[in-house]
Amino acid sequence: MPHIPLIAGNWKMHGLSQAVSEALAIDAAARQSSARIALFPPATLLHRLSQALAEAGSSIITGGQDCHCEADGAFTGDVSAEMLKDAGAGMVILGHSERRHGHGEPCALVAKKVLGALRVGLEPVICIGETLEERLAGETHAVLNRQLRASLPEELTGQVFHVAYEPVWAIGTGHIPTDEQVVDAMVLVKSYLEERFHGQVTPHVLYGGSVKPDNAAHLLTLDGVGGLLVGGASLKAADFNRIIAAAG
């Protein structure tokens, strides 16, 4: 593992104002942990949550769940990397499967968004992952290589960023890949990056998909897993704090 682990909570479209107190309860566990902790609330909560955590002296990093590739303009409903940064973000999730599949986002667009994030110094968390059909058809390696090739712009050289391997069939389903499947994906990502960037990048490679308090410690022992991207189990401090504790 190149760095201390990154434990990230993606709240997706969950959370009203009260969720700020949940973040402060997560901060209590984060203070006991040597891991880097990040929370990705919905855009409506980003500023409030970033501010509350900063006022509490927290080291939790906040982030957006997506961004537009342009800085500003006539893009109704979109939020730019500049706006996320202005709201207190230090990171942004890009290419999540719920964007790729739910909003038809192609890899080329993800790559443009990554440039947007780099423009303002946000650390991108770039998600990749195969569907169940693709895995059953034996296409996992081809899909992951294609997503890496087309979603990662050359400009990532020398930059801080993260790659999250989230098999689509493991997201929100309770189905966890086998240890071998996770390690296989980690090896693929590392060798892809090595071949293309020749040691000029050292991202955390995260695993995401049905991470729970009971499987987090084990997942973190798997070769190459540099952290976890957690959905449902990051919404309640009671659960997420156990995952943070598992990271040590």
Ligand X SMILES: O=C(CO)COP(=O)(O)O
Binding site as annotated, residues for substrate: 10-12, 172, 210, 231-232
Q: Which residues are at the interface with ligand X (CB under 6 A)?
A: 10, 96, 166, 171-172, 208-211, 229-233
- Measured from the CB atom, the residue of 63 and 88 that comes closer to ligand X is 63
User: Minimum CB separation from ligand X for residue 75, in Å?
Assistant: 24
- Measured from the CB atom, the residue of 54 and 238 that comes closer to ligand X is 238
Question: Nearest to residue 78, comparing CAs of 89, 70, 90?
Answer: 70
For 135, the enclosing helix (H) or strand (E) is helix 132-136
> What does the radius of gyration of the chain's CA atoms come to, in whole angstroms?
17
Catalytic one of 22, 68, 96, 134: 96
User: Minimum CB separation from ligand X for residue 116, in Å?
Assistant: 19
Please measure the distance between the N-terminal and C-terminal CA atoms of the chain and give it in whole angstroms. 14
Our answer to whether residue 166 is catalytic in this structure is yes
Close Cβ partners of 194 (under 8 Å, ≥ 6 residues apart): none
The string over 82-97, giving b where at least 16 C-beta atoms fall within 10 Å of a residue's C-beta and e elsewhere, is bbbbebbbbbbbbbbb
- Measured from the CB atom, the residue of 30 and 128 that comes closer to ligand X is 128
Our answer to whether residue 133 is catalytic in this structure is no
